[in-house]
Amino acid sequence: MALEHPWTEAPAPGRARAVAPGVKWLTMPLPFKLDHINLWLLEDGSGWTAVDTGLGLPPTRALWEQVVTGELGGRPITRVIVTHFHPDHMGNAAWLTARWGADLWCTEAEWFAAHYAWRSRDFAPRLEHYHRHGIRDEALAQLAKRGNHYPGVVPEVCGHYRGIDDGETLAIGGRAWHVLAVRGHAVHQACLWCPELRVLISADQVLPKITSNVSVWSEQPLGNPLRLYLDSLARFGTMAPDTLALPSHGLPFRGLHERLDQLRAHHAARLAECADALVEPRTAAELIPVLFRRELDTHQLGFAVGETLAHLNYLEAEGRARRVVGGDGIHRFRKA
C-alpha cells in the first residue's frame, strides 16, 4: 500500500482537528527549520489525555490555554503522556501537569534521560566527543557557544511520574492503547497502538518523509543505536496495512508497511555509501557530506555528527569497517 495522506496540511497552531473517533491533532511551533511538532489529544472521560507537549516556551503555553478553552470546550487535560525526553516532546510536561493537576506518564528511561539532559551543565565531554571525530576549531567554538540548550526549552522536569513500559496496555477513553517501547532515536521511546481504531501514534520513530535522527552521543560513544532502530521497525510489521500513523513531524499517513520498507532501504543505501567512502582512514566529520548533501547550521551539525557516527559504529559492529585511533587521539575509520 503506497503512502496516502488523508489531510494535505496541518491544523493551524491553536486549532485541533479530529483524525479518528476521540483523537484530535494539534500543532505547536518550533523555532527550527522543522517548524512545528504534531501533538495528539485522546478523549478520556471528563477530560483529555495529551500525548507530547511542545517546547516549554510562553507562546506554546498560550496556545495550550487557547486549545483547552476553545477547542476542548474547557474540558481539562487529565493525563500527560510523553513519548520521549527530547525537548519538543517533554518541554511543557511539568507546566501542563501543574496547570491541570494531571500526572506525567512516560517510560522510566525517558524520565531519567530528561533529568540527565536538564542537569548536564558541563558541555566539555560533548565538545571532546566532537573533537575526536574531526570537528574543527571554528565549528567547535560555535557548538560551545550554543552549549546545552535543553534547560532553555525545558525549564523544568517533573519530579515524579507514572511509569509505562513495553507491552503495557493503557485504558484511555474506553479504548485499549498498547505501549511499544522502541529504541534508537531515543532511549526507550513509547509509541501507542490502538487496534480498535487502527491508529498508531508513531512519535519520532516512524516519520512519513524525513528520517528519524539516530545518533551516537558522548555518553555512549561505542553504542550501536542504528542497529537498535532498525530492529525496532519489526515491531510495527504486524499492524494492519490500513493503519493510520500519527507521526510527530509530517502529515498523518496510511501505508505504514511501505514506509518501513523505505526506511530500511534508506539506511542500507547510506551504510553502503559510507563503506564505499572509506577507501582511506576518514573521520566522521569528513564523512558528513556523504550523508548530508546540504549546508548545515550549528544546530544541525551536532545531529549530523551523531548520525554519521551511528552509521560508522554500525559498520564497525558488522565487521565492515575498522576504527583507527591516531597518536593525535582522532578517531578514523577505514574499510575492513
Q: Is the pLDDT of residue 71 over 90?
A: yes
The confidence score (pLDDT) of residue 294 equals 83
> pLDDT band at 293, cuts 50/70/90?
confident
Order across the sheet with 175-182: list the strands: 169-172, 175-182, 189-194, 199-203, 244-247
Encoded amino acid at 138, one letter: E
Q: Is the pLDDT of residue 1 over 80?
A: no
Q: Read off the pLDDT of residues 233-288 as tens digits, 9 standing for 90 and up.
A: 999 999 999 999 999 999 999 999 999 999 999 999 999 999 999 999 999 999 99
| DSSP structure string for 28-83 | EE-SSSS-EEEEEEEEETTEEEEE----SSHHHHHHHHHIIIIISTTPPEEEEE-S
Task: Give the cell for residue 284.
Answer: 566522521
Q: Read off the pLDDT of residues 26-42 as tens digits, 9 standing for 90 and up.
A: 999 999 888 999 999 99
Q: What domains sit in the chain, N to C, each tagged with a CATH number?
A: 17-120+149-267 (3.60.15.10)
For the entire predicted model, the pTM comes to: 0.96
The confidence score (pLDDT) of residue 59 equals 96
332 in Cβ contact with 283 (< 8 Å): yes
Which residues have C-beta within 8 Å of that of residue 295, sequence separation ≥ 6? none
